[in-house]
Amino acid sequence: MSAPLLSAVNMVAGYARGLPILHGVSVAVAPGEIVTLIGPNGAGKSTLLKAIAGLIETEAGRIALGGSDITSLPAHRIVAAGIGYVPQTANVFTSLTIHENLKVGGHTLGAGLAARLERAYALFPVLAEKRAQRARTLSGGQRQMLAIARALMTEPRLVMLDEPTAGLAPVVVGEVFGQLRRLAESGVAVLMVEQNARAALRVSDRGYLLVEGSNRMQGPAAALLADAQVAEAFLGGKRRQPA
């Protein structure tokens, strides 16, 4: 791994002070790299993303983006610092139109907004057709596309996604992962949490296995996929033979 873009070190965080869910987790993501967090429910994967996004307080630990400390910045400043975040649920404004969702996504932009809107529509043509519709009329897959497009409006250096393929049809899952791959190839760092761990690791460069708020294992995605212990415990049964 080259010099990390994001490094979160010894993170202690949770939803109530003094009741941490993360007990000193550390992760790092390099530019152009896809990193997936796997682990059982309650391992603190989503909590880690929320702490990095500034939505919950970091009680101890240090988060740096491109070398500068962003540990105690409020959420809206973290967006400006270059991190895009796609929550798992309620990740689009259903009462706003597609166009308005993208505009709100570009809230921190000044004059560059129009160009970014055009770029978002070029990247996700399906959204362009429906730009005047309210987001609640979108299908699950389109909604996820909108959520990703919204997070990309600020051209973040790091995009974090919480369960980007939850509840999506298999064909749409491939589409979402394809978009993430293209994104990484353009130099953006991607950090995601996936229930669909096997498929996520296949598109990832590296992975972290978190258990009970601590690092358990980390390494190249292929190595995690191949690890019998990981496969049995966290990827749902024995590793399938390659077809």
Partner 1 sequence: MIAQALADGLLTGAIIALGAIGVSFTLQIMRFANFAHSELLTWGAYIALVFVSFAGPGTPTGPLSFGWQLLAAAAAAAVLTGLLAWLVDRLVFRRLRRQCAHPLTMVFAAFGAALVMRHVVVLFWGHESYFYTRELQMALELLPGVRVLPDQIFILLLAIAIVAALHAFLTYSRTGMAMRAMAESPALAQTCGIEVDAVIRWTWILSGALAALAGVFAGLTPQIHPEIGFNLLLALFAAAILGGTGSLIGAVVGGLLVGMAENLALLWINPGYKQAMPFLLLLLILLVRPQGLFGGKK
Find the shortest distance in angstroms from Cβ 103 to partner 1: 6
Q: Which is nearer to partner 1, 86 or 235 (CB)?
A: 86
Question: What is the rounded (10 degree) CA torsion for 154, 197, 174, 151?
Answer: -10
Position among 3, 107, 137, 187 found at the interface with partner 1 (CB under 8 A): 107
225 near partner 1, judged by CB under 8 A? no
Region for residue 49 given its phi and psi (left: phi exceeds 0; alpha: psi -120 to 50; beta: otherwise): alpha
Nearest distance from residue 156's CB to partner 1, in Å? 10
Least CB distance to partner 1 at residue 199 (A)? 25
Applying CB under 8 A, which of residues 12, 80, 126, 233 lies at the interface with partner 1? 80
For residue 179 the two structure tokens come to: 């978009």
Residue of 12, 23, 73, 100 that binds partner 1 (CB under 8 A): 100
State the alpha helices, DSSP H only, in the chain: 45-53, 75-81, 98-105, 113-123, 125-129, 140-152, 170-185, 197-203, 221-226, 228-234
Q: Rg (Cα) of the chain, in Å, rounded?
A: 17
Binding status of residue 12 toward partner 1 by CB under 8 A: no
Distance CA 33, CA 185 (A): 8
8 Å CB contact between 203 and 34 = yes
Q: What is the torsional sign of CA 54, 152, 106, 65? A: positive
Q: Which of 12, 96, 166, 223 binds partner 1 (CB under 8 A)?
A: 96
**Which residue, 100 or 175, is less far from partner 1 as judged by CB?**
100
Please report, to the nearest 10 degrees, the dihedral formed by the alpha carbons of residues 127, 128, 132, 134 taken in order.
0
Instruction: Identify which of residues 27 and 92 has a Cβ nearer to partner 1 in the complex.
Output: 92
Give the contact letters, 127-156, x = binds to partner 1 (CB under 8 A), - = no: -----------------------xx--x--
Element (H, E) at 26: strand 22-29
CB of 80 to partner 1, least distance (A): 6
Q: How far is the CB of 48 from partner 1 (least distance, A)?
A: 15
Applying CB under 8 A, what is the total number of residues that bind partner 1?
Answer: 26
Nearer to partner 1, 107 or 181 (CB): 107
Applying CB under 8 A, the residues found at the interface with partner 1 are: 53-55, 74-76, 79-80, 85, 87, 90-96, 100, 103-105, 107-108, 150-151, 154
